[in-house]
Amino acid sequence: MAAAAFHQAIGTLQSRGCVSNSSGLNRENGNASFRLISKGFKLDIALLRRETYCSRKRSFGIIQALASQTTIFDPISSPSDGTKSDTKKKSNEAALILIRHGESMWNEKNLFTGCVDVPLTKKGVEEAIEAGKRISNIPVDMIYTSALIRAQMTAMLAMTEHRRKKVPIIVHNESEQARAWSQIFSEETKKQCIPVVTAWQLNERMYGELQGLNKQETADRYGKEQVHEWRRSYDIPPPNGESLEMCAERAVAYFKEYIEPQLLSGKNVMIAAHGNSLRSIIMYLDKLTSQEVISLELSTGIPMLYIFKEGRFIRRGSPVAPNEAGVYAYTKRLAQYRQKLDEMLQS
Protein backbone atom coordinates (compact mmCIF):
# COMPACT_ATOMS: atom_id res chain seq x y z
CA MET A 1 0.00 0.00 0.00
CA ALA A 2 1.22 3.45 -0.87
CA ALA A 3 1.10 5.76 2.08
CA ALA A 4 2.96 7.76 4.65
CA ALA A 5 1.73 6.96 8.15
CA PHE A 6 -0.03 9.36 10.46
CA HIS A 7 2.59 10.37 13.01
CA GLN A 8 1.67 11.66 16.43
CA ALA A 9 4.05 13.81 18.38
CA ILE A 10 3.85 16.60 20.91
CA GLY A 11 5.97 19.65 20.35
CA THR A 12 7.75 18.77 17.12
CA LEU A 13 6.49 17.50 13.80
CA GLN A 14 9.20 16.02 11.59
CA SER A 15 8.08 16.11 7.97
CA ARG A 16 9.80 15.17 4.77
CA GLY A 17 9.15 16.36 1.28
CA CYS A 18 10.67 17.75 -1.89
CA VAL A 19 9.62 14.89 -4.14
CA SER A 20 8.96 15.09 -7.84
CA ASN A 21 8.47 12.45 -10.47
CA SER A 22 8.28 11.99 -14.20
CA SER A 23 4.69 10.77 -14.09
CA GLY A 24 3.54 14.35 -13.61
CA LEU A 25 1.61 13.53 -10.45
CA ASN A 26 3.48 14.74 -7.43
CA ARG A 27 2.93 14.28 -3.75
CA GLU A 28 5.32 14.59 -0.88
CA ASN A 29 5.97 11.43 1.13
CA GLY A 30 4.50 9.19 -1.51
CA ASN A 31 2.17 8.20 -4.29
CA ALA A 32 -0.08 5.47 -5.82
CA SER A 33 -1.87 5.39 -9.10
CA PHE A 34 -5.08 4.09 -10.55
CA ARG A 35 -7.23 4.73 -13.58
CA LEU A 36 -10.97 5.05 -13.92
CA ILE A 37 -12.31 4.27 -17.38
CA SER A 38 -16.05 4.43 -18.00
CA LYS A 39 -17.71 4.63 -21.42
CA GLY A 40 -14.87 6.50 -23.00
CA PHE A 41 -14.28 8.93 -20.15
CA LYS A 42 -10.95 8.39 -18.43
CA LEU A 43 -9.85 9.99 -15.21
CA ASP A 44 -6.34 9.29 -13.92
CA ILE A 45 -5.59 9.73 -10.26
CA ALA A 46 -2.11 9.08 -8.97
CA LEU A 47 -0.18 9.13 -5.75
CA LEU A 48 3.26 7.48 -6.24
CA ARG A 49 5.39 6.24 -3.39
CA ARG A 50 8.82 7.80 -3.79
CA GLU A 51 12.01 8.36 -1.85
CA THR A 52 12.19 11.73 -0.16
CA TYR A 53 15.19 13.90 -0.93
CA CYS A 54 15.13 16.55 1.74
CA SER A 55 13.65 17.11 5.13
CA ARG A 56 12.86 19.94 7.42
CA LYS A 57 11.79 20.17 11.04
CA ARG A 58 9.00 22.43 12.16
CA SER A 59 8.02 23.05 15.78
CA PHE A 60 4.45 23.31 16.99
CA GLY A 61 3.50 24.21 20.53
CA ILE A 62 -0.04 22.86 20.65
CA ILE A 63 -1.84 19.53 20.37
CA GLN A 64 -0.23 16.60 18.53
CA ALA A 65 0.94 16.38 14.94
CA LEU A 66 -0.62 14.15 12.35
CA ALA A 67 0.93 13.84 8.89
CA SER A 68 -1.33 12.01 6.47
CA GLN A 69 -1.48 10.32 3.11
CA THR A 70 -3.93 7.96 1.46
CA THR A 71 -4.01 4.18 1.51
CA ILE A 72 -7.28 3.44 -0.24
CA PHE A 73 -5.83 2.50 -3.61
CA ASP A 74 -3.31 -0.20 -4.44
CA PRO A 75 -0.08 1.16 -5.91
CA ILE A 76 0.93 0.82 -9.54
CA SER A 77 4.68 1.03 -9.79
CA SER A 78 6.17 3.86 -11.80
CA PRO A 79 9.68 3.74 -13.28
CA SER A 80 12.16 6.26 -11.95
CA ASP A 81 15.88 6.76 -12.16
CA GLY A 82 15.91 7.75 -8.48
CA THR A 83 17.43 11.16 -9.07
CA LYS A 84 16.33 14.59 -7.92
CA SER A 85 16.11 15.82 -11.51
CA ASP A 86 12.58 14.48 -12.12
CA THR A 87 10.49 17.46 -13.15
CA LYS A 88 7.00 18.41 -12.03
CA LYS A 89 4.48 18.27 -14.81
CA LYS A 90 1.80 20.86 -14.20
CA SER A 91 -1.65 20.51 -15.66
CA ASN A 92 -3.34 23.53 -17.16
CA GLU A 93 -5.70 24.07 -14.23
CA ALA A 94 -7.36 22.52 -11.21
CA ALA A 95 -10.30 23.43 -8.99
CA LEU A 96 -9.98 24.16 -5.26
CA ILE A 97 -13.20 24.24 -3.21
CA LEU A 98 -13.21 25.64 0.33
CA ILE A 99 -16.19 25.03 2.63
CA ARG A 100 -16.58 26.25 6.21
CA HIS A 101 -18.56 23.68 8.16
CA GLY A 102 -22.26 24.19 8.78
CA GLU A 103 -23.64 25.50 12.06
CA SER A 104 -22.47 23.43 15.04
CA MET A 105 -24.37 22.77 18.26
CA TRP A 106 -22.06 25.17 20.10
CA ASN A 107 -22.47 27.82 17.39
CA GLU A 108 -26.18 27.59 18.16
CA LYS A 109 -25.52 28.00 21.90
CA ASN A 110 -23.11 30.93 21.32
CA LEU A 111 -20.20 29.09 22.96
CA PHE A 112 -16.51 29.29 22.11
CA THR A 113 -15.83 25.98 20.37
CA GLY A 114 -12.25 25.97 19.09
CA CYS A 115 -10.87 22.43 19.05
CA VAL A 116 -13.72 20.88 21.06
CA ASP A 117 -15.26 18.19 18.83
CA VAL A 118 -18.90 19.25 18.46
CA PRO A 119 -21.37 17.99 15.78
CA LEU A 120 -23.63 19.94 13.46
CA THR A 121 -27.13 21.13 14.26
CA LYS A 122 -30.07 20.32 12.01
CA LYS A 123 -29.50 23.71 10.39
CA GLY A 124 -25.82 22.81 9.94
CA VAL A 125 -26.79 19.58 8.21
CA GLU A 126 -29.05 21.53 5.85
CA GLU A 127 -26.24 24.04 5.16
CA ALA A 128 -23.86 21.20 4.29
CA ILE A 129 -26.39 19.66 1.91
CA GLU A 130 -26.97 23.04 0.27
CA ALA A 131 -23.21 23.47 -0.13
CA GLY A 132 -23.12 20.09 -1.84
CA LYS A 133 -25.78 21.18 -4.31
CA ARG A 134 -23.75 24.26 -5.19
CA ILE A 135 -20.69 22.20 -6.07
CA SER A 136 -22.49 19.15 -7.47
CA ASN A 137 -21.17 19.70 -11.00
CA ILE A 138 -17.55 20.36 -10.05
CA PRO A 139 -15.30 17.28 -10.19
CA VAL A 140 -13.67 16.31 -6.90
CA ASP A 141 -10.64 13.99 -6.80
CA MET A 142 -9.44 14.49 -3.20
CA ILE A 143 -11.05 15.75 0.00
CA TYR A 144 -9.24 17.18 3.01
CA THR A 145 -10.96 17.91 6.31
CA SER A 146 -9.89 18.79 9.81
CA ALA A 147 -9.84 16.13 12.52
CA LEU A 148 -13.10 17.52 13.93
CA ILE A 149 -16.49 15.91 13.31
CA ARG A 150 -18.32 19.08 12.22
CA ALA A 151 -15.95 19.52 9.27
CA GLN A 152 -16.09 15.83 8.38
CA MET A 153 -19.90 15.79 8.54
CA THR A 154 -19.99 18.81 6.23
CA ALA A 155 -17.74 17.15 3.65
CA MET A 156 -19.65 13.87 3.72
CA LEU A 157 -23.09 15.47 3.53
CA ALA A 158 -21.98 17.76 0.72
CA MET A 159 -20.83 14.80 -1.35
CA THR A 160 -24.24 13.08 -1.08
CA GLU A 161 -25.43 15.74 -3.55
CA HIS A 162 -22.64 15.29 -6.09
CA ARG A 163 -23.73 14.21 -9.55
CA ARG A 164 -20.90 11.71 -9.94
CA LYS A 165 -22.13 9.80 -6.85
CA LYS A 166 -18.66 8.71 -5.79
CA VAL A 167 -18.38 7.67 -2.15
CA PRO A 168 -16.06 9.68 0.14
CA ILE A 169 -13.96 7.26 2.19
CA ILE A 170 -11.97 8.45 5.22
CA VAL A 171 -8.38 7.25 5.06
CA HIS A 172 -7.20 5.47 8.22
CA ASN A 173 -3.42 5.52 8.48
CA GLU A 174 -3.14 5.80 12.24
CA SER A 175 -1.83 2.25 12.65
CA GLU A 176 -0.96 -0.85 10.64
CA GLN A 177 -4.11 -2.51 11.92
CA ALA A 178 -6.26 0.46 10.90
CA ARG A 179 -4.76 0.38 7.42
CA ALA A 180 -5.29 -3.38 7.12
CA TRP A 181 -8.84 -3.33 8.43
CA SER A 182 -9.93 -0.47 6.16
CA GLN A 183 -8.68 -1.99 2.90
CA ILE A 184 -11.05 -2.21 -0.07
CA PHE A 185 -10.76 -5.47 -1.99
CA SER A 186 -13.00 -4.65 -4.96
CA GLU A 187 -11.23 -2.81 -7.80
CA GLU A 188 -14.57 -1.65 -9.15
CA THR A 189 -15.54 -0.22 -5.77
CA LYS A 190 -12.22 1.60 -5.48
CA LYS A 191 -12.96 3.38 -8.75
CA GLN A 192 -16.10 4.83 -7.20
CA CYS A 193 -14.38 6.21 -4.08
CA ILE A 194 -12.87 9.58 -3.20
CA PRO A 195 -10.12 9.53 -0.55
CA VAL A 196 -10.77 11.79 2.44
CA VAL A 197 -7.67 12.84 4.40
CA THR A 198 -8.17 14.25 7.90
CA ALA A 199 -5.54 16.49 9.47
CA TRP A 200 -5.40 18.31 12.81
CA GLN A 201 -3.47 21.11 11.09
CA LEU A 202 -6.78 22.15 9.47
CA ASN A 203 -8.54 22.32 12.86
CA GLU A 204 -10.17 25.46 14.14
CA ARG A 205 -8.02 27.85 16.15
CA MET A 206 -7.51 26.50 19.67
CA TYR A 207 -9.29 28.97 21.94
CA GLY A 208 -7.54 27.91 25.14
CA GLU A 209 -9.38 28.78 28.35
CA LEU A 210 -12.28 30.31 26.41
CA GLN A 211 -13.42 26.95 25.03
CA GLY A 212 -16.89 26.12 26.32
CA LEU A 213 -17.55 29.62 27.66
CA ASN A 214 -20.55 31.65 26.53
CA LYS A 215 -19.39 34.49 24.29
CA GLN A 216 -21.69 37.10 25.79
CA GLU A 217 -20.88 36.11 29.37
CA THR A 218 -17.17 36.21 28.54
CA ALA A 219 -17.56 39.72 27.13
CA ASP A 220 -19.41 40.81 30.30
CA ARG A 221 -16.63 39.32 32.45
CA TYR A 222 -13.52 40.49 30.60
CA GLY A 223 -14.94 43.43 28.66
CA LYS A 224 -15.98 43.63 25.03
CA GLU A 225 -12.69 45.18 23.91
CA GLN A 226 -10.59 42.41 25.44
CA VAL A 227 -12.74 39.63 23.95
CA HIS A 228 -12.76 41.40 20.57
CA GLU A 229 -8.96 41.55 20.71
CA TRP A 230 -8.75 37.81 21.41
CA ARG A 231 -11.18 36.99 18.63
CA ARG A 232 -10.16 39.42 15.91
CA SER A 233 -6.51 40.38 16.38
CA TYR A 234 -3.89 38.61 14.30
CA ASP A 235 -1.15 37.89 16.83
CA ILE A 236 -2.77 38.04 20.29
CA PRO A 237 -3.92 34.63 21.59
CA PRO A 238 -6.58 34.02 24.23
CA PRO A 239 -5.26 32.60 27.52
CA ASN A 240 -3.37 29.36 26.77
CA GLY A 241 -4.72 29.32 23.22
CA GLU A 242 -3.69 30.11 19.65
CA SER A 243 -3.63 33.43 17.86
CA LEU A 244 -4.72 33.58 14.23
CA GLU A 245 -1.04 33.89 13.35
CA MET A 246 -0.30 30.57 15.11
CA CYS A 247 -3.26 28.91 13.42
CA ALA A 248 -2.07 30.21 10.04
CA GLU A 249 1.42 28.82 10.61
CA ARG A 250 0.17 25.24 10.86
CA ALA A 251 -2.72 25.46 8.36
CA VAL A 252 -0.75 27.13 5.58
CA ALA A 253 2.28 24.88 6.14
CA TYR A 254 0.04 21.83 5.73
CA PHE A 255 -1.66 23.31 2.65
CA LYS A 256 1.67 24.03 0.95
CA GLU A 257 3.19 20.66 1.83
CA TYR A 258 0.29 18.30 1.13
CA ILE A 259 -2.56 19.99 -0.74
CA GLU A 260 -0.80 22.28 -3.19
CA PRO A 261 1.12 19.36 -4.78
CA GLN A 262 -2.25 17.71 -5.52
CA LEU A 263 -3.37 20.85 -7.34
CA LEU A 264 -0.06 21.03 -9.19
CA SER A 265 -0.68 17.50 -10.43
CA GLY A 266 -4.08 18.53 -11.81
CA LYS A 267 -6.32 17.08 -9.11
CA ASN A 268 -9.43 18.92 -8.02
CA VAL A 269 -9.48 19.29 -4.23
CA MET A 270 -12.17 20.11 -1.68
CA ILE A 271 -11.29 21.33 1.82
CA ALA A 272 -13.93 21.29 4.55
CA ALA A 273 -12.61 23.09 7.60
CA HIS A 274 -13.21 26.07 9.92
CA GLY A 275 -13.46 29.82 9.98
CA ASN A 276 -9.91 30.48 11.17
CA SER A 277 -8.06 27.68 9.39
CA LEU A 278 -9.78 28.61 6.11
CA ARG A 279 -9.21 32.32 6.77
CA SER A 280 -5.52 31.48 7.12
CA ILE A 281 -5.45 29.57 3.83
CA ILE A 282 -7.32 32.36 2.02
CA MET A 283 -4.76 34.81 3.39
CA TYR A 284 -2.11 32.76 1.57
CA LEU A 285 -4.16 32.30 -1.62
CA ASP A 286 -5.18 35.96 -1.95
CA LYS A 287 -1.95 37.38 -0.50
CA LEU A 288 -3.82 39.29 2.21
CA THR A 289 -2.07 41.32 4.88
CA SER A 290 -2.51 40.62 8.59
CA GLN A 291 -4.85 43.61 8.76
CA GLU A 292 -6.93 42.47 5.80
CA VAL A 293 -7.37 38.91 7.04
CA ILE A 294 -8.79 39.85 10.44
CA SER A 295 -11.76 41.52 8.75
CA LEU A 296 -12.42 38.52 6.49
CA GLU A 297 -15.73 36.81 7.35
CA LEU A 298 -16.70 33.36 6.05
CA SER A 299 -20.29 32.16 6.12
CA THR A 300 -21.05 28.64 7.31
CA GLY A 301 -21.86 26.18 4.54
CA ILE A 302 -21.06 28.51 1.63
CA PRO A 303 -18.43 27.03 -0.72
CA MET A 304 -15.76 29.16 -2.37
CA LEU A 305 -14.17 28.17 -5.66
CA TYR A 306 -10.60 28.89 -6.74
CA ILE A 307 -9.00 27.92 -10.04
CA PHE A 308 -5.34 26.98 -9.76
CA LYS A 309 -3.71 27.83 -13.09
CA GLU A 310 -0.07 28.38 -14.03
CA GLY A 311 0.93 28.53 -10.37
CA ARG A 312 -1.68 31.16 -9.50
CA PHE A 313 -4.89 30.95 -7.47
CA ILE A 314 -7.80 32.75 -9.11
CA ARG A 315 -10.80 33.35 -6.87
CA ARG A 316 -14.18 32.60 -8.49
CA GLY A 317 -16.45 33.15 -5.52
CA SER A 318 -19.26 30.78 -4.66
CA PRO A 319 -21.09 28.80 -7.35
CA VAL A 320 -24.27 30.81 -7.77
CA ALA A 321 -26.99 28.18 -7.35
CA PRO A 322 -27.49 24.41 -7.28
CA ASN A 323 -29.02 24.14 -10.75
CA GLU A 324 -27.04 26.77 -12.64
CA ALA A 325 -24.12 25.81 -14.87
CA GLY A 326 -22.55 29.26 -14.92
CA VAL A 327 -19.55 28.06 -12.94
CA TYR A 328 -18.35 26.21 -16.03
CA ALA A 329 -17.84 29.47 -17.88
CA TYR A 330 -14.86 29.96 -15.57
CA THR A 331 -12.79 27.21 -17.10
CA LYS A 332 -12.73 25.22 -20.30
CA ARG A 333 -11.56 22.11 -18.47
CA LEU A 334 -14.59 22.09 -16.18
CA ALA A 335 -16.86 22.62 -19.18
CA GLN A 336 -15.36 19.58 -20.89
CA TYR A 337 -15.78 17.55 -17.71
CA ARG A 338 -19.43 18.52 -17.45
CA GLN A 339 -20.08 17.51 -21.06
CA LYS A 340 -18.48 14.11 -20.47
CA LEU A 341 -20.38 13.66 -17.22
CA ASP A 342 -23.69 14.51 -18.91
CA GLU A 343 -22.98 11.96 -21.63
CA MET A 344 -22.18 9.27 -19.07
CA LEU A 345 -25.26 9.92 -16.97
CA GLN A 346 -27.59 10.02 -19.99
CA SER A 347 -26.31 6.84 -21.61
Question: Max CA-CA distance within the chain?
Answer: 65
Q: How far apart are CA 308 and CA 242, in angstroms?
A: 30
Residue ranges for the known binding site are 100-107, 113-114, 150, 204-207, 215, 231-232, 275-276
Q: How far apart are CA 146 and CA 277, in angstroms?
A: 9
Please spell the DSSP secondary structure of 11-48, one letter per residue: EEEEEEE----TTS---TT-BEEEEEEETTEEEEEEEB
Asked if the model's pLDDT at residue 208 lies above 70, the reply is yes
Residue among 65, 82, 133 nearest 303 (CA): 133
Print burial letters for 170-188: b (CB count within 10 Å at least 16), e (below 16).
Answer: ebbbbeeeebeeeeeeeee
Q: Establish whether 101 is a catalytic residue.
A: yes
Residue among 190, 191, 183, 122 nearest 157 (CA): 122
The model scores a pTM over 0.85: no
What domains lie within the chain, and their CATH numbers?
Answer: 2-67 (no CATH), 85-346 (3.40.50.1240)
Confidence of residue 343 (pLDDT cuts 50, 70, 90): low
Q: Give CA separation, 294 vs 9, 210, 225, 256, in Å.
A: 30, 19, 15, 21
**Residue 311 region, left (φ>0) first, then alpha (ψ -120 to 50), else beta?**
left
pLDDT in tens, 146-160: 999 999 999 999 999
Residue 79: exposure state from Cβ atoms within 10 A (0-12, 13-18, ≥19): exposed
Confidence of residue 195 (pLDDT cuts 50, 70, 90): very high
Under DSSP, the state recorded for 294 is T
Confidence of residue 92 (pLDDT cuts 50, 70, 90): confident
Given 204, 242, 249, 257, the catalytic residue: 204
Residue ranges for the known binding site for substrate are 100-107, 113-114, 150, 204-207, 215, 231-232, 275-276
Given 101, 162, 172, 274, the catalytic residue: 101
